[in-house]
Amino acid sequence: MNNLSPSEPTQIGRYQLIGRLGRGGMGTVYLGQDDTGQRVAVKVINAEYSQHEQFRVRFRREAESARRVRRFCTAAVLDSDLEGDLLYVVTEYVEGPNLHDAIQRTGPLRGSSLDALAVGVATALTAIHSAGIVHRDLKPSNVLLSPVGPRVIDFGIARALDTLSGITGTGELMGTPRYMAPEVLRGAPAAPACDVFSWGCLVAFAASGRAPFGGESLPSIVYQVLNTEPSLDSMEPPLRTLVAAALEKDPERRPTAQQILDQMVGRTTPERAEHTVVQAWQRSPTLQGQAPTLPGQPPTRHGPPPTGHLPAGPPTGAHAPYQGQPPTAAHQGTVPAGSPTYLGTTPAVPRHQGAGTPLDATWRAQGPPEGGRPADPAARRRRLIGIGVAGVVLFAVAGFGLRALLAPSGPPTDLSFLYRDDFNESGTGWSGSEYTGKEYGMYGYAPGGFYAVDVNDEGSERIEKAPIPFVPEQPATPDPSATPTPTTPQRLLLTVTATLRSSKGPGEYGLFCRADGEYRQSRYEFLLSETGEARIRRVTKGTGGNLTAAAATGITKNTPAKVQVECAKTAEGVQLTMWVDGARVQSFLDNSGSPSSLPNGDVGFLARVPEKSGSSLGVSFDDFTVQGPASASSPR
């Protein structure tokens, strides 16, 4: 094809342009090819935008952020020019029609075709949100139906328009109101929850051929989105329940993209979810014979392993105001537990993604221990032993029991390594991408070879679940054709080297174990405060309370501390023990709550500050390991 006009370029950079794929308010997308014949999509930004320095700065930041998105159900970035007079991004060419055109041509999706679409788009959103990005304009024309599954396009760089204005020169609202969340229509900052709302609208459209909110004029559409219930009559009950939860007016009541994914395919990762989508997509009779919009080769993977991507495809309209809220806080979902699994083989279990309970009201900012941290671990250990011998007061305050006092003082040495990560390589399965310490890069893999987490008023808590190769419990009805995943051992020793890099006001960080996947999460926490005090805390269905009182450790800022915790199921309950640099600082036998103790669950690390307190905390985590009985050893 060659539909280029005489005024359009035929070469951009090292790419020959052989056709125009589309044109929109932000720019033009061309079909190009490199000197090897590989087809690509070249998105060129309109000069009216690229001449604004503020736009160029935001465009560059958004493009660089999009590169960090893992390549799951999206298009990969191959090249870009973010500095020259002509701004452009080169992405993988995704062959196939967009969802809007496909539905108009062949009708609504049904059965496994609809499920595969829903899972594929949720997988893409999970990868996008994990990189700290909000799509902001998810709609049918921004989902391409490739031969191997749906591909979400046009995220990231469109947000650069927010630096200019939320309203066009004619006063037209920038965006696609039928697929915009109510809070965004009211002018609130966009966050991951708004993408979840758009996901619900998109799936409802795919199931019926019409948007879930009616109206012909802009005021009518906005009124419907803000005030009426969505039309979901054409959807089957299980998926309808999940979509209805995504379309809650209150963003705090919507599930996250990860929770949607887990609800539909069981506890999983984007890698496994994408594989599931490809299998279902290629088996689906509804999707066979979908004609691509342009002739060409099937999508292929090129170059080194992906570090991120930016969407290919035609620009589609403008966008509503965005005020820059970092998308780090998760949103409480309302999907009923126990809803059927759609494409997976394990029962659906909602996944909590990052948000937890507020800090206890008893938190107080205190000064560091007199004299600071001892110069070496042995000196601090002697100090702690001396404090322990000082009297019964510490015995009562620190929460030690007779069992703990009689047990060996150091961490157990009879356990095998089940999992370890030194964070020297990114993309090892944790939820974060590249850490920058700036907006949208507040947690993830840091260049220095550690995992960094910053929390503040914009995101007061970060809970990072370790991607260990175990599951807390086996599915009730396992798939006989699937290779079973080992069950998490009932006794675990977690180790991490934690460094408090910065702090302002009160804050806490540490390890957790036995976390569940409910929206109101339960877990055990082993915490160090900004003043170096240690405590063990239990959270039950979102409500937390101390199991032990705070005990001084002498930990100070900018000094690495080896934190180790043991969670061990015993006949009496769950034994919880915490060591810092080899010295035991806390121990507690939990057997008196409701339930008496928490069941098996996930593990990981966390950091938090009190909400809306002006506090901030920066922590580095390194050399994370999980140990357990030798019988549970995993190859990883």
- By DSSP bridging, strand 523-529 and strand 533-540 are antiparallel
Please write down the HEC assignment for all residues of 438-503.
CCCCCEEEECCCEEEEEEECCECEEEEECCCCCECCCCCCCCCCCCCCCECCCEEEEEEEEEEEEE
Which among 611, 511, 618, 601 has a CA at the least distance from the CA of 557?
Answer: 618
CB 206 within 8 A of CB 114: yes
Q: Is 562 annotated as a binding residue?
A: no
Q: With b meaning 16 or more CB within 10 Å and e meaning fewer, what string describes 469-485?
A: ebbbeebeeeeeeeeee
What distance in Å separates the CA atoms of residue 537 and residue 605, rounded to the nearest whole number?
Answer: 13
Q: What is the DSSP string of 252-279?
A: GGSPPHHHHHHHHHSS--HHHHHHHHHH
What distance in Å separates the CA atoms of residue 222 and residue 226, rounded to the nearest whole number?
Answer: 6
Contacts (Cβ under 8 Å, ≥6 apart) of 361: none
What distance in Å separates the CA atoms of residue 225 and residue 500, rounded to the nearest whole number?
Answer: 45
What distance in Å separates the CA atoms of residue 455 and residue 505, rounded to the nearest whole number?
Answer: 12
What distance in Å separates the CA atoms of residue 554 and residue 534, rounded to the nearest whole number?
Answer: 10
Question: Residues 145, 151, 152, 158: is their CA dihedral positive or negative?
Answer: negative
Radius of gyration of the chain (CA): 26
Q: Annotated catalytic residue: which of 115, 137, 421, 516?
A: 137
What distance in Å separates the CA atoms of residue 17 and residue 39, rounded to the nearest whole number?
Answer: 10
What distance in Å separates the CA atoms of residue 586 and residue 384, rounded to the nearest whole number?
Answer: 11
Q: Which long-range contacts (CB under 8 A, 24 or more apart) does 290-294 make?
A: 290/96, 290/97, 290/102, 290/106, 290/145, 291/97, 292/95, 292/96, 292/97, 293/21, 293/95, 293/96, 293/97, 293/98, 293/101, 294/1, 294/19, 294/21, 294/31, 294/95
Q: What is the DSSP string of 361-387?
A: TT----PPPTT-S-SSHHHHHHHHHHH
Q: How many residues does the chain have?
A: 636
Cis peptide leading into residue 595 (ω within 30°): yes
Which among 141, 174, 162 has a CA at the least distance from the CA of 318?
Answer: 174
The yes-or-no answer on residue 602 being catalytic is no
Q: What is the DSSP string of 322-363?
A: -----TT------PPTTPPPSSSSS-------S--PPPPTT-
- Count CB neighbours of 229 within 10 A: 11
- By DSSP bridging, strand 574-580 and strand 443-446 are unpaired
Q: For residue 467, which phi and psi values (nearest 5 degrees)?
A: -85, 55
Could you tell me which residues are annotated as the binding site for ATP? Answer: 43
Could you tell me which residues are annotated as the binding site? Answer: 43
Q: Which residues are catalytic?
A: 137
